[in-house]
Structure 1
Amino acid sequence: MENERKRAFPETTEVSQSKRPHVEIPREPSIFNIRPVDDITRYIGDFLWDYCSQENVEIEAKMGVFIDRHTNSRLNIGALTETVLNPNHNYSFKFESDMPLEQHKHFNQLLNDRTNKSQVKDYKGERIAYKHTRETDRFFPLPQSRNNIRVTTDQQTGKVVPNGIIEKKRLADLNIHSPANALDYRISVNLEIPRKKPETELSHERHKDRLSYTHGGFTFDLTQVKGAPEKNEEMRHELEIEFVDANLLAEKKKEGNKPRSGYVQMIERFVNNIRLLSQSARRL
């Protein structure tokens, strides 16, 4: 019986380590020679899948912290690593994207250093583009709607910036808690619908001093935001990562949701940037 078993299931010939020639073989990522997409990245890709084909879509991630409404402290759900928060529990926490000035300065220095390194003559990678803008957003109520029309003007010239009159309509949010790092993040999907100059009365305004860094199809915006001077509102400090053209996701989506499709790669780059910024944040 034993001999019959061996004939049915022949064993692999063993070769002792001492007799094998020493050859460095590149290690494959797995026995299947593929690298699986991690659960969070896959969830984000699935979340954005149904939205990226819409016209005038905006996809961005804001850095911040989730605050427990009961304790008024940073959310603690017992998680040890990055996790997607259940949308059914949104009532129990809020997202605060305003970071301390010291944190904002840290990111400013970090991104400036990366920009400077990308500008040297022998740099091999994609160079980072930098822009500093100062703009004012004015908001006008949209009749029979909870939304506003936003008119954005250049503070220096007073002129409306390109694509500066829009109605911003929020579609969905995805909240991701990252307890091992100093900052969490929220991914938001909005529509920025072009509108004509509004005829309603001004509701409110805000002033933005923004540093923008563009790389790899994403814009990294460090913004200081202040409301109307007469309201004596405190300055807010925010960091956002946004797809330069979210419609490119729709183009990659046509390739199919294969493990290494262009769509998945774009989502991975998006998440990689968010994670690295979150990991580099200071604990204040």
Structure 2
Amino acid sequence: MESKKRTASEADIASVPVHKRQAVTIREPSIFGIKPVDDITKYIADFIAEHVHLENVEIEAKLGIFVDKRSNQRMNIGAKTETVLEPESTRQYRFVADMPLEQHRHFNKMLNETVNRTQAREYKGERVKYKHTIETDRFYEMGRNKCRVTTEQSTGKIVENGIIEKIRVADLNIHSPNQALDYRISINIEKPRSKPTTNPIFERNKDRISYQHGGIAFDLTQVKGSADRDPDVRHELELEFADAKALGLEKLKNDRKEPSHYTSMVETFVNNIRLLSRSALKLYK
């Protein structure tokens, strides 16, 4: 049986008595004693800060790819790392959040495994919460926007906060050329409304698995429109701040120069997006 040969450095280390070996020095993150937030996360935090104070604000991110409208292929602008796109880029590129069923199943399996892992008795961290809902959205004309009424398919009852007018406020587009997926961060207003008395103009059915961890909601959704208007099935993955008001309060503390978790909350949001993108199946060139 062959024995594994040790390198000279390994042999030298092994020959030094344990009590004489020097411990690895734990270094400070910088000469100033702080770790700077990376540039893109700071840009995202500043973007969100412009809108987080809005009433009934929704802050979400969708994973997908930016597609070149001319070639119908994933965008290629020569970027080597993650980059924020100019708003004008939407003239040349479109964001596609509809992912292949294979990708959807991959995320479903991965997130379910995370739920199981965090439910173990010996697990010490925050447990991942899990919920499966099957709902129907019906849309009604309301001026320039639309009113959405969401009901449970099993009972027909309107869900909590299920009647809203969704108003688009702003988007921030981020291309990640080294990863399988790009992402878009969107700011919307979800204004409560009373139930419309007119007939709906269209509807969609949502089969959604929701996970929650660290103040972030992860929604993996299969969406199917009405058979006559939109028969295709779409698969989407989005992340959302579960409590945008809490984020807004931390931003106010930050503005007053008080101890605040605002930046770290945004950092957690971005970290989750990045990790999901990096773990995605590479189905696009």
* TM-score where L is the length of structure 1: 0.89
Kindly provide the amino acid, as one letter, of the partner of residue 264 in structure 1: T
Letter in 2 for 1:60: E
CA contact 1:60–1:242 (8 Å) conserved in 2: yes
| 2:54 matches 1:78 | no
Native 8 Å contact 1:36 1:259 kept in 2:
no
The equivalent of 2:13 in structure 1 is none
CA contact (8 A) 2:253 2:259 kept: no
Aligned to 2:63: 63
Match 1:198 to one of 196, 199, 218:
196
Q: Would the aligned equivalents of 2:148 and 2:164 in 1 still touch at CA under 8 Å?
A: yes
2:273 alignment partner in structure 1: 274
Contact 2:220 2:236 in 1 (8 A): yes
User: For the Cα contact (< 8 Å) 2:152–2:158, is it kept in 1?
Assistant: yes
Deviations along 1:85-136, one digit per CA (max 9) or x if unpaired, are: 0112221110000000000000000000000000000110000110000000
Q: Which of 143, 155, 158 does residue 156 from structure 2 map onto?
A: 158
2: distance between equivalents of 1:24 and 1:182? 36
Contact 2:138 2:202 in 1 (8 A): yes
Structure 1 position 30, deviation (Å): 1.2
Query: How far apart in 2 are the matches of 1:42 and 1:229?
Result: 44
Equivalent-residue separation in structure 2 for 1:94 and 1:250 (angstroms): 30
Q: What amino acid sits opposite 2:69 in the alignment?
A: R
The match for 1:170 among 168, 171, 174 is 168
Q: Specify the code of the residue in structure 2 equivalent to 1:256.
A: N
Q: Give 3-state SS (helix, strand or coil) of 1:255's partner.
A: helix
Report the Cα distance in structure 1 between the residues aligned to 2:277 and 2:31, rounded to whole angstroms. 32
Could you say which residue in structure 2 is the equivalent of 1:16?
Answer: none
- Alignment partners' CA distance in 1, 2:156 and 2:76: 45
| SS at 2:186 equivalent | strand
Q: Is the 8 A contact 2:180 2:282 kept in 1?
A: yes
Which residue of structure 1 aligns with residue 232 of structure 2? 234
- Structure 1, gaps ≥5 residues long: 1-20
C-alpha distance after superposition, 1:70-98 (max 9, x if no partner): 11110110001100001122211100000
The separation in 2 between residues aligned to 1:277 and 1:209, in whole angstroms, is 20
- 1:88-107 to 2 correspondences below 5 Å: 88-107=88-107
- Following the alignment from structure 1 to structure 2, what is the Cα–Cα distance between the partners of residues 238 and 22? 51
What is the CA–CA distance in structure 2 between the aligned matches of 1:200 and 1:73, rounded to whole Å?
41
Shift of 1:267: 0.5
- Looking at structure 2, the residues matched to 139 and 105 of structure 1 have their Cα atoms a distance apart, in angstroms, of 28
Deviations 1:134-193 (A, max 9, x none): 000000001xx2101000000000010010000000000000000100100000000000
Match of 1:185 in 2: 183
Q: Is the 8 A contact 2:118 2:126 kept in 1?
A: yes
Deviation per residue, 1:194-248 (Å, 9 max, x gap): 0001122211000000000011101100000000023361100000000001111
Aligned to 1:207: 205
Equivalent pair of 1:53/1:249 in contact (CA under 8 Å):
no
Which amino acid in structure 1 is aligned with residue 63 of structure 2?
M
* Secondary structure of residue in 2 paired with 1:253: helix
3-state DSSP of counterpart to 1:226: strand
Corresponding residue of 1:243:
241
SS at match of 2:253: coil
Q: Which structure has the greater CA radius of gyration?
A: 1
Partner of 1:31: 31
Distance 1:222 1:96 in 2: 15
Shift of 1:259: 12
Of all paired residues, the percent bearing the same amino acid is 59
SS at match of 1:230: coil
Q: Displacement, 1:25?
A: 2.9
1:255 corresponds to which residue? 253
Contact in 1 for aligned 2:171/2:185 (Cα 8 Å): yes
Matching residue of 2:264: 265
Distance in 1 between residues matched to 2:127 and 2:96, nearest whole Å: 32
Query: Structure 1 residues 46, 98: closer, same or farther in 2, change over 3 A?
Result: same
Q: Distance in 2 between matches of 1:202 and 1:256?
A: 43
TM-score by length of structure 2 reads 0.89
Could you say if the C-alpha distance between residues 23 and 168 of structure 1 is closer, same or farther in structure 2, counting changes exceeding 3 Å?
same
Alignment-mate amino acid for residue 188 of structure 2: N
The amino acid across from 1:95 in the alignment is F
User: Distance in 2 between the 1:209 and 1:170 partners?
Assistant: 23
Cα distance in 1, alignment partners of residues 27 and 189 from structure 2: 44
